[in-house]
Homo-oligomer: A and B are copies of this chain.
Amino acid sequence: MLPGDYSSSLFQLPLLATMAEAPEANAALVLAGVMLSLVVIYLASKVGGEICARINLPTVLGELVGGVIIGVSALHLLIFPGSGIEASASQIMQILQGTTTLDPAALQVTFNAQSEVISTLSELGVVILLFEIGLESDLKALIQVGIQAAVVAVVGVTVPFVLGTAGLMLLFQVPAIPAIFAGAALTATSIGITAKVLAELQRLSSREGQIIIGAAVLDDVLGIIVLAVVGGLVKTGEVQVTNIVYLVISAAAFLIGGILLGRLVSPALVGLIDRMKTRGSLLLVSLIMAFVLSYVAVAIQLEAILGAFVAGLILAETSKQHELGEQIKPIADMLVPVFFVVVGARTDVSVLNPFNPANQEGLIIATFLVLVAIVGKVVTGLAVFGLPGINRWAIGVGMIPRGEVGLVFAAYGATTGALNPALQAAVIVMVIVTTFIAPPLLRIAFGPDGAAGPEVLVAESSAN
């Protein structure tokens, strides 16, 4: 009769916990662990962000570094279950065990549950970020630079892939499959990091900003296609043409169809919202739209963030753009830092230690990959045509960060056995370096003006 899981209700569970026999996660303690993790994440993001704002670096870099410090590389406050990581290694779980009634037998399930929640919150964070970016974007401007963005994306995928694969095979005698795999990892662009920095610099709506965002979105789609191609190569030794055709068609249909359909239904939606009488109607109807499109994106094997971006683009064209933007802001402030801190926390920077002999082979290859990664994306700026006076350097630099997308390639390579440890480490180093240097480089690329966001009150002339 009782839907059994009432024992996972919020209330009075520390008392109930003492009676539990099976080691089941106690909801009150999972919540406590999640809240403690959020406190640590927010502290790391604010301390890192404030320091970076003061030394004139993008705050997102501070959030990433803050994440590295509390994560698997250093303090072990925020770590996630996985290869060889036990619940007892998590300092959050240690605190939880020391201060609450947490049963040692329930340590692992509580750790897993808490990690699952924080992980999903961080992913909701990047979904909300892309929704916000879409909401602040101008679809017409984006379409105007569409061809340039497409060229930038294609060049930014082709050049690093060809240079990287050929270089690894010719210079380092890496076999074809691993070389192709590492080359593929070079093609990614982290739209999250790039978009956040552009927003901080107040350059999202500039022509350069729109080209970068457009190219990064297309790059996400291309990345999925590249991964499908490479994955097929690794598994079956041949390229699965039908799969690629399916991905290309579904991606195009989703981006174009989503926007057209959205434009059709959004007036009715706005009318509906205006007739609703309860609190939060605009926000919830918009979130329903964002989540539905994100879900459809996942269902057709694209990324959730693409759906959220399209939903933002559609709603940006309605009369509610400004009001919704105001309401999304606190939600983004709450969830987006979770994403960047978690990306930092998950990054094991110990592969960067040159004094560890096990790292040395990887670091040599990594140096090559980093060079290709930077050059291969910076040249994309040169491919922009027909826009005199455009900041080509900024566009190229904006495409540099690989972020979480590059790490997925590395993880995928490790799972399939395509990458040996040295090559895998090299890919991770490449991802770390490009991710962490891109924000300051982008600020420099836009010059002193670009850095003059309203929140940066320190004198600009001495910096850069």
Contact = CB atoms under 8 A, between A and B. Distances in A.
A69 to B, nearest CB: 15
Interface string A18-52: 01000001011111101110110011011001100
B80 A8 contact: yes
State how many copies of this chain the complex holds: 2
Nearest to A302: B14
Nearest to A348: B3
Interface string A293-318: 01100110101110000000000000
A8 B337 contact: no
A347 B3 contact: yes
A407 B120 contact: no
Interface string A274-306: 001111110111011001101100110101110
Contacts of A27: 119-120, 123
Contacts of A45: 284
A455 B32 CA distance: 35
Interface in A423-463: 424-425, 428, 455-457
A332 B346 CA distance: 29
A14 B301 contact: yes
Given A16-B415, A36-B291, A287-B38, A280 B6 contact: no
Contact of A6 (B329, B333, B411): B411
Interface string A334-375: 100100000000111011000000000000000000000000
Nearest to A99: B299
Contacts of A281: 46
A11 B276 contact: no
A223 interface: yes
A85 to B, nearest CB: 7
Contact of A42 (B35, B101, B284, B347): B284
B43 A288 contact: yes
Given A15-B231, A19-B415, A32-B299, A2 B39 contact: no
A79 B333 CA distance: 30
A11 to B, nearest CB: 5
A104 interface: no
Contact of A284 (B46, B305, B347): B46
Interface residues of A, number: 119
Contacts of A279: 59, 333, 455
Which of A3, A298, A351 gathers the greatest number of chain B CB atoms within 10 Å? A3
B9 A411 contact: yes
A404 interface: yes
Contacts of A155: none
A414 interface: yes
B425 A299 contact: no
A28 B416 contact: no
A364 B99 CA distance: 44
Contacts of A19: 231, 235, 415-416
B416 A280 contact: no
Contacts of A457: 277
Contacts of A337: 280, 284
Given A4-B85, A334-B283, A116 B415 contact: no
A156 to B, nearest CB: 17
Contacts of A50: 276-278
A421 interface: yes
B333 A1 contact: no
A126 interface: yes
A408 B119 contact: no
A29 B298 contact: yes
Nearest to A120: B117
A77 interface: no
Interface string A394-428: 00000000001101101110111000010011001
A242 interface: no
Given A6-B346, A113-B116, 20 more contacts: A1-B351, A4-B411, A6-B410, A8-B82, A11-B408, A14-B298, A15-B228, A15-B231, A16-B415, A32-B295, A32-B304, A35-B124, A35-B304, A36-B295, A38-B287, A46-B276, A49-B278, A50-B277, A100-B298, A280-B332
